[in-house]
A = this chain, B = another copy of it.
Amino acid sequence: MRAEREGDEAVDVDGDGAELRSEIGRLLTFSDAVFAIIITLLVLDLRAPEAPPGRMSRALLDQWPAYLAYVTSYLVVAVSWLSHKGTFRRVVRADPGLHGWNLTVLFGTALLPFVTSIVSRALQHGDRADERVTTGLYGLVGVLLSIGWLGLYHHLSRSRALLHPRVPPRVFAVERGRGLVGLVGFGAAGLAGVLVDPVVALAIFLVLPVFYALSSNGLFDLQRRLRRQPARR
Asked if A37 is an interface residue, CB under 8 A from chain B, the answer is yes
Within 8 A of B (CB), among A64-106: 74, 78, 81-82, 85, 89-90, 94-97, 99, 103, 106
Question: Known contacts A134-B56, A161-B226: does B26 contact A166 (CB below 8 Å)?
Answer: no
Q: Which of B81, B97, B222 contacts A94 (CB 8 A)?
A: B222
Q: Which residues of B contact A32 (CB under 8 A)?
A: 26, 29-30, 33
- Nearest residue (CB) in B for A29 is B32
Return A228 CB to nearest CB of chain B, in Å.
11
Give how many copies assemble into the complex.
Answer: 4
Within 8 A of B (CB), among A11-31: 11-15, 19, 22-23, 26-30
CA distance A4 to B3 in the complex (A): 45
CA distance A82 to B26 in the complex (A): 10
Q: Which residues of B contact A34 (CB under 8 A)?
A: 36, 39-40
Q: Which of A4, A15, A34, A46 has the most CB of B within 10 A?
A: A4
Question: Known contacts A12-B166, A164-B13, A233-B165: does B133 contact A56 (CB below 8 Å)?
Answer: yes
Chain A contributes a number of interface residues (CB within 8 A of B) equal to 105
Question: Known contacts A4-B217, A40-B41, A40-B110: does B126 contact A99 (CB below 8 Å)?
Answer: no
Asked if A137 is an interface residue, CB under 8 A from chain B, the answer is yes
Query: B134 and A231: CB pair below 8 A?
Result: no
Question: Known contacts A177-B4, A231-B161: does B168 contact A10 (CB below 8 Å)?
Answer: yes
